[in-house]
Amino acid sequence: MRALAAYRKAFRFLFRHQLGWFLWFPTLITVLVFFGGFSLTSWATKSISDGIDVWINTIDWLPDWASVIQDVVYWVLWIVMRIILYFIFAFFGGTIILIMMTPILTWLSELVAQKMNKDVPPFSITQFIRDITRAAGLAIRNGMLQGVLSLGCFLIGFIPLIGAVAPFLLFIVNGYFYGYNFMDYSLERRLFTVRESNQYVWSHRFSALSLGAPFAFWMVIPFIGPMTAGYLSIFSTVAATIEVERLEERAPTHQSVHA
């Protein structure tokens, strides 16, 4: 409950400390992601459709129906490609957004810690690049694990009786891994290794689940969720930073070599 309460604190914190301008970054990232996605599906639709058109034109007994069939094939492909795009964003949209926003969220977490008067190492471009590379790699790794476990939950859904728990398992898996990613922006600043981050987040798994649950819930809202996930990631990162700092005040677990 304290982790969930951190979201309320995050909203106030962001604007009280004049960090609201970070909300401009998700706008740019969202436009890039969706423009890129629709551009890619349009290109794939046209490429496949052109290939089928060439094949149809080689069939001698279809001269009168060729243009009609070509139009039908094009629009069927158009619909199918966009359905595929929707499912890609539904299952992996959160991970895609987090990977693209890694530099922004890493920077934001550091600024939040500074505003909280925590010990933050002096800025180093070399260390910053290492941090965002590590965070992006961890987001990809977590995204793959999340995808595999989500597929497992989906398959469990087909098992009579037991399948009833599949949606809850899926929500828990997504919430945990999203929360893990948000917490790790604070852990990488303390120079945690990936193994240490795994152990830390698992030992605070209920906090991770609580921090990732709002993001996981938001992502299942059709169209709106994936399109606006970047904005929520800003508040999630602030909330996670506040929560990790609270946990570290209560029981420090790692001494940063920057200190």
Alpha-carbon gap, residue 205 to 112, rounded angstroms? 22
The model's pLDDT over 174-207, given as tens digits with 9 standing for 90+, comes to 889 999 999 998 898 888 888 899 999 999 999 9
Within 10 angstroms of residue 92's Cβ, the number of other Cβ atoms is 18
Kindly report, residue by residue over 155-166, the tens digit of the pLDDT. Answer: 888 888 888 888
CB neighbours of residue 252 within 10 Å: 9
What are the CA-CA distances from residue 157 to residues 114, 173, 218, 221 (Å)?
Answer: 45, 14, 21, 20
The reply to whether 182 falls in a domain is yes
Task: Provide the pLDDT for residue 259.
Answer: 39
Report the number of distinct structural domains present in the chain. 1
Read off the pTM. Answer: 0.77
Q: Is residue 84 a part of any domain in this protein? A: no
- Asked, for residue 157, whether it belongs to a domain, the answer is yes
In a domain, residue 34? The reply is: no
Question: What is the per-residue pLDDT for 236?
Answer: 93
pLDDT in tens, 29-75: 878 877 887 788 888 888 888 787 777 666 666 566 667 777 787 88
Worst-scoring range by mean pLDDT, 173-187, 200-214, 215-229? 215-229
Q: Is residue 20 part of a domain?
A: yes
pLDDT at 59: 66
Domain assignment of residue 194, yes or no: yes
Q: Quick check: is 256 in a domain?
A: no
Calculate the CA 73 to chain-centre distance.
Answer: 34
Q: Considering only CA atoms, which of 225, 228, 231, 232 is closest in space to residue 90?
A: 225
pLDDT-above-70 percentage for the chain: 88
257 has pLDDT over 50: no
Q: How far is CA 167 from the centre of its chain?
A: 19
138-147: average pLDDT = 82
127 lies in a domain?
Answer: yes
Domain that holds residue 173: 2-29+92-250
